[in-house]
Chain A
Amino acid sequence: MANGSRLPLLTTDQMASFVARGFLRLEAVVPSDINAHAMEELPGLFRAWLDELRGAASGKGTGEDDGAPLPRSGTMLNEAYAPDSAFGRMVRVPEVAGAIASLVGPDPVVDHHFVHLKGPGDLTTQGLHCDAIIDAGPAFDIQLFWFPHDVAPGAGGTRYVPGSHLRQINMDDIARYQHLVGDEHHAGPAGTVVIFHQGLWHAGAANHSDTLRVLGKLRLNPTVRQRRLWDVSDLEARNRADDHIWARTEPTSVAAALRGSEGWYEPSVHRLETVQRALLWRYLTGDDAFDVDWYLTRTERRAALDAADAAVTR
Chain B
Amino acid sequence: MSAQQQRQQVLVLWLASSALDSKVLGWAFHDGTGGEGPQPDGDPPATTGVDALRQGWRLLQMSPLLPAAAGQERQSSFLKHEFLFERLVEVSGS
Chain A residues within 8 Å of B, Cβ to Cβ: 166-169, 173-174, 176-181, 263-269, 272-273, 275-276
Q: Does B79 contact A (CB under 8 A)?
A: yes
Q: Are A266 and B75 in contact (CB under 8 A)?
A: no
The docked-state distance in angstroms from the alpha carbon of A181 to that of B74 is 23
For residue A272, which residues in chain B have a CB less than 8 angstroms away from its CB?
Answer: 74-76
Whether A168 contacts B43 by the Cβ 8 Å rule is: no
Given contacts A176-B28, A181-B44, contact A266 B17 (CB under 8 A): yes
Return chain B residues, CB-CB under 8 Å to A176: 12, 28
Q: Are B75 and A264 in touch, CB under 8 angstroms?
A: no
Residues of B within 8 A of A169 (CB): 77-78
* Residues 1 to 42 of chain B near chain A (Cβ within 8 Å): 12, 14-17, 24-29
Please name all residues of chain A whose beta carbon is closer than 8 Å to the beta carbon of B16 when the two chains form the complex.
266-267
How many whole Å from B11's CB to the nearest CB in chain A?
11
The answer to whether B78 and A181 have CB atoms under 8 Å apart is no
Query: B74 to chain A: which residues have CB within 8 Å?
Result: 272, 275-276
- Given A266-B16, A266-B17, A267-B16, decide whether A181 and B25 contact each other with a Cβ distance below 8 A: yes
Interface string of B65-94 (1 = CB under 8 A from A): 000000000111111110000000000000
Residues of B within 8 A of A (CB): 12, 14-17, 24-29, 43-44, 74-81
Q: Which residues of A contact B79 (CB under 8 A)?
A: 177, 264, 266, 269
A92 to B81, CA, bound (A): 45
With contact pairs A177-B79, A179-B44, A276-B75 given, residues A266 and B29 touching in the complex (Cβ less than 8 Å): no
Partner of A273 from the list B24, B26, B44, B76 (CB cut-off 8 Å) is B76
Q: Bound state CA distance, A178 and B44, in angstroms? A: 11
A167 touches B24 (CB 8 A): no
The complex places the Cα of A177 from the Cα of B80 at a distance, in Å, of 12
Contact B75 A178 (CB under 8 A): no
CA distance A179 to B43 in the complex (A): 8
Q: Within 8 Å CB of A269, what residues of B?
A: 76, 79-80
11 contacts between A and B (CB under 8 A): A169-B78, A177-B28, A177-B79, A264-B14, A266-B25, A266-B80, A266-B81, A269-B76, A272-B74, A275-B74, A276-B76
Contact of B75 among A168, A173, A179 (CB under 8 A): A168
Q: Are A173 and B76 in contact (CB under 8 A)?
A: no
* Partner pick for B25 among A168, A173, A180, CB 8 A cutoff: A180
A169 to B24, CA, bound (A): 21
User: Are B76 and A168 within 8 A (Cβ)?
Assistant: yes
The smallest beta-carbon distance between B7 and chain A, in angstroms, is: 19
> Taking each of A166, A177, A263, which has the highest tally of chain B beta carbons within 10 Å of its own beta carbon?
A177
CA distance A179 to B26 in the complex (A): 5
Q: Known contacts A266-B16, A268-B17: does B24 contact A181 (CB below 8 Å)?
A: yes
* Chain B residues whose C-beta falls within 8 Å of the C-beta of A178 in the assembled complex: 26-29
- List A contacts of B29 (CB < 8 A): 178
A174: chain B residues within 8 A (beta carbon): 78
For B77, give its contact among A167, A181, A265 (CB under 8 Å): A167
Nearest Cβ in chain A — how far from B15, in angstroms?
Answer: 8
Q: Which of B12, B25, B27, B75 neighbours the largest number of chain A CB atoms within 10 Å of its CB?
A: B25
Residue of A nearest to B16 (CB): A266
**Which residues does chain A contribute within 8 Å of B26, judged by CB atoms?**
177-181, 264
Name the distance in Å between A293's Cβ and chain B's nearest Cβ: 13
Residues of chain B lying within 8 A (CB to CB) of residue A264: 14, 25-26, 79
Complex Cα distance A179/B46, Å? Answer: 13
In the complex formed, the residue of A with least CB distance to B27 is A179
The 6 A-B residue pairs with the shortest CB-CB distance, nearest first, are A178-B28, A180-B26, A264-B25, A272-B76, A167-B76, A275-B74
Residues from chain B with a CB closer than 8 A to the CB of A179 are 26-28, 43-44
B73 to chain A, nearest CB (A): 9
Q: Which residues of A contact B28 (CB under 8 A)?
A: 176-179
